[in-house]
A and B are shown apart, each in its own frame.
Chain A
Amino acid sequence: MSRIFPLLPRCLGQLSETGNVLSELKIGDSGVIVALDLPDSVQNHLMHMGFVPDAQVKALRRAPAGDPTVYAVDGMEVALRRETASAIEVRAIEDLETESLSAMIEAAS
């Protein structure tokens, strides 16, 4: 379904019931990825760039025209357009420092 109508499930109202989406993160804020809702090939690409569930993402800066936005993930900077970022569900975290990456990895293993 999402492959046929890529924009359909991304209406903000629909996703904000369960949580926030990446595109709504304010610059300087961080979030933890909950789920991705994108076609397989795109999802695969993003996951190999570090956009996996439980990964921390920080919104770094917007392009001068306001879109795309640069995100810091897994030590890399990756720019995504709003339409892509709005298909990535995140859980906002208050402070980046309280939840360090190594602690998360330990929890995962």
Chain B
Amino acid sequence: MSDCCAPPPFIPPVAPPTPGSLRTVALIGPPNSGKSTLFNRLTGMRQKVANYPGVTVEQHMGVMAGVGRPDLVLIDLPGIYSLDPFSEDARVSIDVLRGQMPGTPKPDAVLLVMDSLHLTRQLMLAAPVLALGLPTLVLLNMSDLMEARGGQIDALELARELGAPVARISAFKGTGIDAVPLFLHQQTERTPAKPLVLPVLGNAASTHQWAAQLSHRTGYRAPLSVEHSRKIDDVLLHRFWGPLLFLLVVFGVFEVVFSIGQPLSDGFGDILARIGEFVRTGLPPGWIQSLLLDGAWKGISSVLVFLPQILLLFLFIGILEDSGYLARAALIADRVMRTIGLNGKAFIPLLSAYACAVPAIMSTRTIENKRDRLATILVTPFMTCSARLPVYMLLIAAFIPNTAYLHGFLGLQTLTMLGLYLAGFLAALFTARLLKSSVLKSSDAPFILELPQYRMPTLRSLGLRLMDRAGVFLRNAGTVILCVTLALWVLAHLPVMHTPSGSYAAPELADSVIGQLGHFIEPAIAPLGFNWKIGIGLLSSVLAREVMVSTMGTLYGADHATQAMHLQTALHHDLSLGGALALMIFFAFAMQCTSTMAVVRRETNSWKWPAVQFLYMLALAWCAAFAVNHIVMALGG
């Protein structure tokens, strides 16, 4: 096949400078090349996720226990099309491969994975990767599928052309993976290199021509395009059925999260509370018991209780993404999303946010454009999450009469609830427009969406994804929540009081530091119709919105005047109708969620955006609550 001269003998590739020095291996490949599946297979369950310093690119690392080499570290580089430094992902990859990424060792070898079904295009990444001169093993993934569909490639000839060994594998089935440990084993022996003819790097047209010629010379024949994906799309992207099925999927997400996830979360919460009570009986009463249970355990439970719902949501999104439908959903939603300045890929995060903003923000990773992604992250907490519901329900039950309209079809309470959902949604739209027309304007970042072929999601990849996301959620949200809960506990228990018998006692809530803080912020919230008690509720709800309910419960329980009343009745002592409505609007807009802020910090890799987001939402909440309170007062409410 080689065009002119006699074909050179096949020689194994470049070796590392010192034998036996192999420590770190990098895995690189274009998006949709099956890189993640391969990474999971090579590392098994042992992997860790972190962010590269200074950027929002996620770093996946694991030891290669899946192929019996637990002494080797595998770094999963972001899925990229080229090493041209236009994207953050590509810049990170270049830095890692050159050993210039702080905290990441220079890789001793590279595994380059490519999708055999689209080899010509995928080969474009081979040129810049091989040019780095690192020992490289080229893995032709999905070879079984390619051959089954009538495609072919001369792998030996490709190896000769590239000067690097080539293996056909199926990451999905695990076939051919043996080539990886074999290659890594050989890398401990010295072998000479073969000069490689490369295209002009950094020039996409030249690289494409190189790749096209290369695939021609190696006898590559692309498989027949899969008609089944197009046939499925004839229905799923149909002018009429497409949007209808899309709405059904949306409805399905809601249905799963609320009808199945909510009872699961509630039941889980009961179990957690019982564990707490059980431990309480085993501990001597005193400040240690209080710190552990009312402080630490309460904080941990408040995070854990969302886990069933979050995992369910991620399972759902995982199935949609792995099957290939998520890309179609983005395509259908794009026309609507662009009217608010976002793109179709922002749809699923915004939808997920109706359950909880934390997984929603974590799922914005599918948005490649950094500015669009940031805008989505910043508007997501406006969507009415399930943690707002207990607060809304309490206030609505206490202040809104259930007047029936339309012959009992719509109640005033339901209307109020719908109004609050609408208020959050409109605030998200407004903020998205504001951001996209100012700081996050991105005229040179269009919507480019690859529609992958439909695939059957595997339990293995869904399971790994769930474990991965659950771990991230618990580590990041959990640690911050724990710190804040402990801080709140300390604030509520200082200064230390002494009972006449000399033992420790917590101060009255009004006299505690947090009570004094409530008094301190009272002038700022008085125009909204809130007094210092509501102030304490607001302060404690910075932890998580639903904490407001239990705080108010504790507060009234401790006060003799309201001790014997229901919470709803007691609230009338402190709130007028205007104040109650203002409080609801305040909750609709304000960022009272430490988990969300922790996740935003993690995803944007700085405290700047969570701080901006917190202040912006606080300002909006304050203004809206002020307006509502004064309008209701003016109307004589």
Contact = CB atoms under 8 A, between A and B. Distances in A.
Contacts of A40: 86
Interface residues of B, number: 47
A76 B223 CA distance: 12
Interface stretch (B237-245, B254-262, B589-597): B237-245
A72 B224 CA distance: 13
Contacts of A6: 443-444
A67 interface: yes
B451 A80 contact: no
Contact of B213 (A3, A41, A105): A105
B449 A109 contact: no
B334 A74 contact: no
Given A68-B449, A74-B121, A76-B118, A43 B204 contact: yes
Contacts of B238: 64
Given A47-B205, A63-B331, A84-B446, A75 B225 contact: yes
Nearest to B84: A44
B449 A106 contact: no
A108 B627 CA distance: 68
A106 B444 contact: no
A50 interface: yes
Nearest to A55: B208
B246 to A, nearest CB: 8
A37 interface: no
Interface in A38-83: 38-50, 52-53, 55, 60-61, 63-68, 70, 72, 74-81, 83
A41 B121 contact: no
Interface string A96-109: 00000010011011
Mostly helix, strand, loop or mixed at chain A's interface?
Answer: mixed
Mostly helix, strand, loop or mixed at chain B's interface?
Answer: helix
A84 B447 contact: yes
A67 B3 CA distance: 45
B81 A79 contact: no
Interface in B153-195: none
Range class of the A interface residue count: 35 or more
B124 A108 contact: no
Interface string B101-134: 0000000000000000110110011000000000
Contacts of B125: 48
Interface string B226-250: 0001100100011110110000000
Contacts of B445: 42
Given A42-B445, A48-B124, A84-B447, A63 B225 contact: no
A61 B233 contact: yes
Nearest to A78: B450
B239 A64 contact: yes
A48 B82 CA distance: 7
B563 interface: no
Contacts of A63: 237, 242, 331-332, 334-335
A77 B234 CA distance: 14
Interface string B430-468: 000000000000011111111100000000000000000
B87 interface: yes
A65 B332 contact: yes
B209 interface: yes
A78 B448 contact: yes
Contacts of A48: 30, 81-82, 121, 124-125, 204, 207-208
Across chains A and B, which 9 residue pairs bring their CB atoms closest together, nearest first? Answer: A47-B204, A65-B335, A48-B81, A41-B86, A77-B451, A39-B444, A79-B449, A84-B446, A52-B208
Interface of B: 30, 81-82, 84, 86-87, 117-118, 120-121, 124-125, 204-205, 207-209, 212-213, 215-216, 222, 225, 229-230, 233, 237-240, 242-243, 331-332, 334-336, 338, 443-451
8 contacts: A41-B444, A44-B86, A52-B208, A66-B335, A75-B117, A76-B118, A76-B451, A81-B446
Interface of A: 3, 6, 38-50, 52-53, 55, 60-61, 63-68, 70, 72, 74-81, 83-84, 102, 105-106, 108-109
Given A63-B331, A74-B118, A84-B448, 13 more contacts: A6-B443, A41-B444, A44-B86, A45-B86, A48-B82, A49-B121, A64-B240, A70-B237, A70-B451, A75-B120, A76-B118, A79-B449, A81-B334
